Amino acid sequence: MHSLFRILAALTLVLVVSIPARAQQSYPALCQTDDSSLQQGLEEQLSSLGLQKAVQKKSLSVAVVDITDRTSPRLAAVNGNEMMYAASLPKIAILLGAFERIAQGEMALDKDTLDKLTRMIRNSSNEAATEMLNRVGKAYLATLLQSPPYRLYDPGQNGGLWVGKDYGKAPAWKRDPLHNLSHGATALQAARFYYLLETGRLVSPEMSQMMKTILGDPAIHHKFVKGLEEARPGSRIYRKSGTWKQYHSDSAIVERDGRRYIAVALAESPKGGEWLRRLIVAFDDLIFRSQKEPTQISRLGDKTRSADGVE
């Protein structure tokens, strides 16, 4: 943990010079980058895995984004705007809230804070998540997620990331307005979180890189991590998953052999964990086999386009 703190401290100094030029670039609204080749491939992969019924029942939601070229992402999604219970995945929202507080000088990025944020993400510690949520403030976080700069929870897009309850036995503070979920997400809004992160637009370029570092080196080896370890060793993964009863979720940036992509899957099934282990391998195959040139289309089967196109 001491070495991690030294790394993050060094990043704070180095990235002031190295990232801002990239962050000043113009990036497209992710919901406007859907790609026909990638979409067809995704649908074929889901069919080959025998997951058509889960898709039809809306018990499976997925999004895949090729961000090898960050300025020209390629999106494919199925049930992308379906709001689902996501268990611990929305802890990424608490991470964002903490770094917003840190950037405003309202929270110190000291060893204790860094340790709790890291355990919240890598080990999915509910105790650390609850403490950090209360330090950030539930009302503050809810407002932040709905704020114009982020819109990570957007009623016009059927919701998104939501944290309305401690990660414990306490009653919910405020469930999401549309679906009454305490910890919710949509695949597309989770994917937007990672795209904003990768392009240095969560809080600041420096803070984005710090958050990405915390998302690396996951301590829980299941779902996406297990699938990549077994079938694609050598992959770098920055992720947050979630599990509660029949609800399974995973979300990540994956880097391998010169390619980079975002993968998100939310499932409601006792077999969900196994679905996700197999899905990440299918997503990886899809990214490496698909064409590089994107073709803009509109065929995701649900509302995906924002009103203003701002990311």
Q: Look up the CATH number of the domain holding residue 217.
A: 3.40.710.10
38-68 residue pLDDT tens: 999 999 999 999 999 999 999 999 999 999 9
Q: Is residue 65 part of a domain?
A: yes
- The parent domain of residue 230 ranges over 28-289
The domain total for the chain is: 1
227-286 residue pLDDT tens: 999 999 999 999 999 999 999 999 999 999 999 999 999 999 999 999 999 999 999 999
Q: Is residue 246 part of a domain?
A: yes
Q: Is residue 202 part of a domain?
A: yes
Report whether pLDDT(134) > 60.
yes
Q: Is residue 298 part of a domain?
A: no
| CA separation, residue 250 to residues 7, 40, 165, 245 (Å) | 26, 22, 20, 15
176-189 residue pLDDT tens: 999 999 999 999 99
